[in-house]
Amino acid sequence: MKSTRTFLIFPILLLSCFVCLAQGPEVIIPVPSEVICHDGTYEFTGQPDVKVRRVKGMAPESYEMKVSEKGVTIKASDDAGEFYAFQTLKQMTGDGKVESIRCCEITDSPRFPYRGLHFDVSRHFRSIGFLKKQIDAMAGFKMNRMHIHLTDAAGWRMQIDAYPRLTEFGAWRPQRTWKEWWNGDRLYAEEGTPGAYGGYYTKEELRDLVEYARERHIEVIPEIEMPGHSEEVLAAYPELSCAGEPYRQGEMCIGKEATFRFIEDVLTEVMEVFPSEFIHIGGDEANKEHWKSCPECQQRMKDEGLKDVDELQSYMICRVSRFVESKGRRIIGWDEILDGGLAAGATVMSWRGTEGGIEAMKMGHDVIMTPGRYCYLDHAQDAPFKEPESIGGYLPLDSVYVYEPAEPSMPSEKLHHLLGIQGNLWAEYITEDAHAEYMYWPRAMAIAETGWSLPEDKDVADFRRRVLIALDRLEEDGYNVFDLSQEYGERKLAQTGLGHKAKGCKVVYDKPIQEWYQAAGETTFTDGIIGGWTYSDQRWQGFLSDIDVTIDLGEVTPVRYVGGTFMQLKGPGVFMPQKVDIYVSSDGESFTHVAEVWNDVSVNNEDLLFKSFDTICNVEARYVRYHARRSTMRGFLFLDEIIVN
Ligand code: ACM
Ligand code: ZN
């Protein structure tokens, strides 16, 4: 925000607000590009007096607003700019609750053209009313894309006239929760079966949603998943799978022409309902094994000169992309669409990290950044012990907020391909609409501000202050929001670090560290940095074997305590060790066994758990060997630090 006075003036403004009840630009999310505050206030009753002028030559979606003692004047580039000026005014007036606002001048325009939020309506069906309610909130924070994940194994959610079984059968399942369904037989049910859970949107309902969003300057982008995540399609139309049978695979057969007829027919109907520039065609997480033994897939590879199954998937994505482009639209795909060759004109949504986005951008493709580590709102937003069950992980508001989409390795001459940012909410563990709403707000505000405001104008502490005000408003408007004022935060020791005798000492590893969870490499166990709520925070080191390490304390010294904390999270296969053996030595050759610490945590416990495997001892030693035996469940071991005192 370009304003020399603004930061200094905010505390004074806040004080004066209490006196005169006038609000100013200090409440606005996302923070505007430029604010100049003036003395005086504009008092009004009912609606403020607003004069709007359209100005050519301003950037799209931009506006300027001047509040004087006489009223409000707005200059806007286009309808969206005017709309956003009114959203700013609405925040300043507390949506009609305040009848006095500070005199000021605001000049504002978005950093990125794409500021999105994602809705997984497959894992759990959401009402149109819920979606419209989220559109209202999104628009208020100047977000402009709703990505709706309409199809996945857990249920197909859009009426398709040419393929009625998608919604007569593929939209319903015996179990209400995704978890029970996933852990059960993963069957589907006929529509109308007593107790069947599911649902779908008629075209009329979707057209109404699209129009509702359009009026609020939000484009709804439909996602139709292919070739993977398509179990429900293949249950309804088994002839589209390699085996020709339901419940055998989740990937469509790419050898069959019927598959392409299906996709083209479906997308034709989808494009009739959704006028969006982009059509999302998924492309993520396909298990390509079935294609290797399917005669038709193999024949396709031969006919098209494709050397492997990555190229087979790429053949499909390219062909579908050409079809979509022939209708004047463009595809978006998850970053797996890079594998085997990226379709010309495709836009990449980078989720597994940022590398896919960077690679696509270097190739001259548009990208939308949505890396899981910062943008996956399905992770718990506070200490997992106080939050509803989630898919795991920990992503508090601050961590979403600090994400910077433009990375140093992105070539500056390609930065125009960085279209923007999106927050994703996968709904495996989110059965209720109210729970989904709680997961979005306030973290979607962080996505909104990163998408709109310049990095130099962002400030975590100031953002949190504004978020508390915005959350009160949302709550008053009936939203179920996370109570940021009661945030517990990160594990306490993870915030402070820990000093101990082995800190900085060399560690020799006898077993390899798993490549994705290296943390700080061979200094991890003695760097004094304690792991947080999630094993993916690069403080926890991961192993798919025993852990067997020896610490060199540098000299023979009294050792009274040796211990390390492990994490268990059954869902992703993270378990406590069976036991830990602790040995000491003075010369590094002859070791004495000082403790054997057995696990007493059940492998069936599904909670996030931490347990210290430690011992109190009374020895003199230079070397400490810490050997954790992998669980009988196998899976990962995660350890953050070995504390010696
Ligand atoms: C994804 O999270 N599978 C895109
Ligand atoms: Zn096949």
38-55 mean pLDDT: 95
CB of 353 closer than 6 A to ligand 1? no
The Å distance, Cα 351 to ligand 1 centre, comes to: 7
What CA–CA distances, in Å, run from 502 to 505, 526, 532, 566, 618? 5, 6, 20, 18, 16
CB of 334 closer than 6 A to ligand 1? yes
Q: Which residues are catalytic?
A: 152, 229, 285
Of all ligands present, the nearest one to the C-alpha of 427 is 1
**pLDDT, position 14:** 40
**pLDDT, position 16:** 38
The Å distance, Cα 297 to ligand 2 centre, comes to: 4
CB of 452 closer than 6 A to ligand 1? no
**pLDDT, position 612:** 98
**Closest atom of ligand 1 relative to the 424 alpha carbon:** 2
- Closest residue by Cα to atom 1, ligand 1, is 284
Confidence of residue 403 (pLDDT cuts 50, 70, 90): very high
Ligand 1, pocket-test mutation among 122, 151, 284, 332, most atoms within 8 A of CB? 284
Each residue of 372-381: pLDDT tens digit? 999 999 999 9
The Å distance, Cα 452 to ligand 1 centre, comes to: 24
Number of neighbours of residue 212 by Cβ within 10 angstroms: 16
The Å distance, Cα 310 to ligand 1 centre, comes to: 17
- Closest residue by Cα to atom 3, ligand 1, is 284
Separation CA 600–CA 577 (nearest Å): 10
**pLDDT, position 96:** 87
The Å distance, Cα 150 to ligand 1 centre, comes to: 14
Of all ligands present, the nearest one to the C-alpha of 316 is 2
Each residue of 586-604: pLDDT tens digit? 999 999 999 999 999 999 9
The Å distance, Cα 214 to ligand 1 centre, comes to: 26
Ligand 1, pocket-test mutation among 148, 285, 332, 368, most atoms within 8 A of CB? 285
**Closest atom of ligand 1 relative to the 282 alpha carbon:** 4
Ligand 1, pocket-test mutation among 230, 334, 369, 379, most atoms within 8 A of CB? 334
The correct CATH number of 4-108 out of 3.30.379.10, 3.30.830.10, 3.30.365.10, 3.30.750.24 is 3.30.379.10
The Å distance, Cα 16 to ligand 1 centre, comes to: 47
**pLDDT, position 6:** 37
**For residue 2, pLDDT beyond 80:** no
350-355 mean pLDDT: 97
**pLDDT, position 1:** 54
Mean of pLDDT over the chain: 95
212-238 mean pLDDT: 98
* Chain position carrying tokens 């009374």: 618
**Closest atom of ligand 1 relative to the 372 alpha carbon:** 2
**For residue 491, pLDDT beyond 90:** yes
Separation CA 469–CA 517 (nearest Å): 38
343-348 mean pLDDT: 97
Cis ω before 113 (30° cut-off from 0): no
CATH 2.60.120.260 assigned to domain 492-644? The reply is yes
Q: Which residues contact 477 (CB under 8 A, 6 or more apart)?
A: 95
**For residue 8, pLDDT beyond 90:** no
**For residue 432, pLDDT beyond 80:** yes
Number of neighbours of residue 414 by Cβ within 10 angstroms: 16
Contact 620, 557 (CB under 8 A): yes
* Chain position carrying tokens 């390390």: 564
CB of 284 closer than 6 A to ligand 1? yes
Which CATH code is given to the segment(s) 114-486?
Answer: 3.20.20.80
**Closest atom of ligand 1 relative to the 334 alpha carbon:** 4
Separation CA 157–CA 121 (nearest Å): 7
Residues of the chain with CATH 3.20.20.80: 114-486
The Å distance, Cα 284 to ligand 1 centre, comes to: 6
Confidence of residue 392 (pLDDT cuts 50, 70, 90): confident
In the three-class reduction of DSSP (H, G, I as helix; E, B as strand; rest coil), residue 172 is classed as strand
Calculate the CA dihedral of residues 30, 35, 40, 46 and round it to 10 degrees.
Answer: -40
Confidence of residue 117 (pLDDT cuts 50, 70, 90): very high
Residues of the chain with CATH 2.60.120.260: 492-644
Confidence of residue 404 (pLDDT cuts 50, 70, 90): very high
Which phi and psi (to 5°) does residue 568 adopt?
Answer: -125, 135
Q: Give me 380's structure tokens.
A: 């718990």
**For residue 562, pLDDT beyond 60:** yes
Of all ligands present, the nearest one to the C-alpha of 239 is 2
Contact 495, 489 (CB under 8 A): yes
Of all ligands present, the nearest one to the C-alpha of 349 is 1
Each residue of 596-626: pLDDT tens digit? 999 999 999 999 999 999 999 999 999 999 9
537-544 mean pLDDT: 97
Q: Which residues contact 556 (CB under 8 A, 6 or more apart)?
A: 586, 620, 621, 622
**For residue 17, pLDDT beyond 50:** no
Separation CA 89–CA 73 (nearest Å): 11
SS (H, E, C) 31-87: CCCEEEEEEEEEECCCCCCEEEEECCCCCCCCEEEEEECCEEEEEECCHHHHHHHHH
**Closest atom of ligand 1 relative to the 349 alpha carbon:** 4
**pLDDT, position 11:** 39
CB of 303 closer than 6 A to ligand 1? no
Each residue of 462-473: pLDDT tens digit? 999 999 999 999
- Closest residue by Cα to atom 2, ligand 1, is 351
CB of 351 closer than 6 A to ligand 1? yes
**pLDDT, position 21:** 57
Q: How big is the chain by its Cα radius of gyration, in Å?
A: 28
Confidence of residue 12 (pLDDT cuts 50, 70, 90): very low
**pLDDT, position 174:** 98
**Closest atom of ligand 1 relative to the 376 alpha carbon:** 2
Q: Please write down the long-range contacts of 243-251, taking CB distance under 8 Å and 24 or more positions apart.
A: 243/290, 243/294, 247/186, 247/187, 248/290, 249/287, 249/290, 250/153, 250/286, 250/287, 251/227, 251/286, 251/287, 251/288, 251/290, 251/291
**For residue 9, pLDDT beyond 50:** no
The Å distance, Cα 251 to ligand 2 centre, comes to: 9
In the three-class reduction of DSSP (H, G, I as helix; E, B as strand; rest coil), residue 11 is classed as helix
CB of 285 closer than 6 A to ligand 1? yes
Of all ligands present, the nearest one to the C-alpha of 351 is 1
427-451 mean pLDDT: 98
497-515 mean pLDDT: 97
Residues of the chain with CATH 3.30.379.10: 4-108
**For residue 13, pLDDT beyond 60:** no
